[in-house]
Amino acid sequence: MMASPGGQPLVVECVALTKVFADFWGRQRVLAVDKLDLDIRPGEVFGLLGPNGSGKSTTIKILLGLLYPTSGAARIFGRLPTDTAIKSRIGFMPEESYLYRYLNSYETLDYYGRLFKLDRHERNRRTEQLIEMVGLKRAGKRPVGTYSKGMARRIGLAQALINDPDLLILDEPTTGLDPIGTRQIKDVIATLAHRGKTILLCSHLLADVEDVCHRVAIMYGGKRQALDKLDRLLERREVTQITAKSLDDATVRRIREVVTSAGRGEVEVSHPRDRLEDLFMRVVGNAQRSNLATSGADSMGGVSSFLAGQDARQTGRNVVESLVDAGLKQEESPPPEPQAPKSMTPTPRREVITQLVSDTPETAVPSPAAVEAPAKQSKPDENVLERLMKNPGE
């Protein structure tokens, strides 16, 4: 396995990668990828460009293990793309977000979190952070089938990040997004790269690629036609550009005379222009600060804290390892000497023993006053007896 210039192992490596699509009879029909050599380094944003039919999508499917190469080799983290051990380290956002339309955003991310065997607490934490990050807090309880294409792309990005991947593959991530969402997606990509994530970006929007990519490869006819750092590919060595603050007409005339006398031809003097995207963001930002209501998605928040990258995760591993080492050292220390068990025999009480060995006390006789006198019987009424003894017929 090759290593990057910094000595780290390559994240993606393709060597003479070839894919031929055959017909039913096995006859060669389409040469989709032709001996492609490619390498993607840790922590970089790599752009894969080319017109339709140039082999970009086929290359991505091979890297994901969805297609087998006809010849050549592809490696992800030094392993074959079909190795299930690397699947949890990859996040993929396809060109179309295929989501369950009757689930809302929270249920969608919870479902994908279950696929990666995240516990309930971690799923809830990441779901809340991702929905806040992609600006779907207000629409989070709506079924995703009711989302616009731009909102579906946002939740698609969230599901690609739910497993905190080391390699993020984005296929047309800004399709269907408004200029605000597009700018925010690019900011997220730049932040993730700064945190150590490796990103493979495939897009037809070249301005987006120019803003975020470190290196790009341009494909045509299944072959790699160009590969280098973006600055080197775009630099025009035959033209020199001088930028200065506003100059008066006399200074501009002298500059023209110097350049013309050097035999460099005509000099073009103009004022720099803002990009339309920058102007759009300023105008909309002023409107947002006025608290104007909108029915669309919210602005995206900062990148979720759990997407910390390799450095932060390594710090966490170091903490865990130090705790484990401390536990092992404690286990290796000699156990304390056993102490003699405390006696459980009760201590006799002196006053109880004295009472037991003394003479038996006489039985107490109750006093006559304490004996209750028998109740006095009442004498029957003689008049009542005489009436009862009389004959009823008299």
DSSP-assigned states of every residue in 279-318: HHHHHHHHHHHTT---SSPPPP-SPPTT--HHHHHHHHHH
Those residues whose C-beta lies under 8 Å from the C-beta of residue 80, and which sit 6 or more positions away, are 65, 74
Q: What is the distance of C-alpha 26 from the center of its chain?
A: 43
On whether the pTM is more than 0.85, the answer is: no
Those residues whose C-beta lies under 8 Å from the C-beta of residue 165, and which sit 6 or more positions away, are 88, 89, 90, 91, 197
User: Facing residues of 218 across strands?
Assistant: 49, 226
Q: Which residues of the chain have pLDDT under 50?
A: 295, 360, 362-365, 368-371, 394
291: left (phi over 0), alpha (psi -120 to 50) or beta: left
Contacts by 203-208 with C-beta closer than 8 Å and gap 24+?
Answer: 203/47, 203/49, 203/170, 203/172, 203/173, 203/174, 204/172, 205/172, 205/174, 206/49, 207/277, 208/174, 208/182
pLDDT recorded at residue 179: 86
How far is 195 from 247, CA to CA, in rounded Å?
42
Q: Which of 226, 223, 222, 221 is nearest to 213 (CA)?
A: 226
Two structure tokens written together for 81: 């793309």
Q: Which of 40, 357, 291 is nearest to 167 (CA)?
A: 40
Question: Is the CB of residue 170 less than 8 Å from the CB of residue 160?
Answer: yes
Question: Is the CB of residue 202 less than 8 Å from the CB of residue 56?
Answer: yes
Give exposure, 222-242, as e/b (b: 16+ Cβ within 10 Å). bbbeeeeebeeeeeeeeeeee
How far is 45 from 134, CA to CA, in rounded Å?
20
Two structure tokens written together for 127: 């779901």
Summarize pLDDT for 175-229 with one digit per residue, the tens. 888 888 888 889 999 999 998 999 999 988 888 888 999 999 999 989 999 999 9
CA atoms within 13 A on the CB side of 1: 18
How far is 12 from 41, CA to CA, in rounded Å?
7
Q: Which of 279, 186, 180, 200 is nearest to 38 (CA)?
A: 200
- Whole-Å CA distances, 234 to 124, 286, 310: 44, 33, 31
How far is 105 from 142, CA to CA, in rounded Å?
7
Helix/strand/coil for 382:
helix
Return the residue matching tokens 């995207």. 277
Give the chain's end-to-end CA distance (angstroms, integer). 140
pLDDT recorded at residue 11: 95
Question: Is the CB of residue 22 less than 8 Å from the CB of residue 191?
Answer: no
How far is 170 from 184, CA to CA, in rounded Å?
15
pLDDT recorded at residue 245: 78
Q: Which of 156, 133, 142 is nearest to 106 (CA)?
A: 142
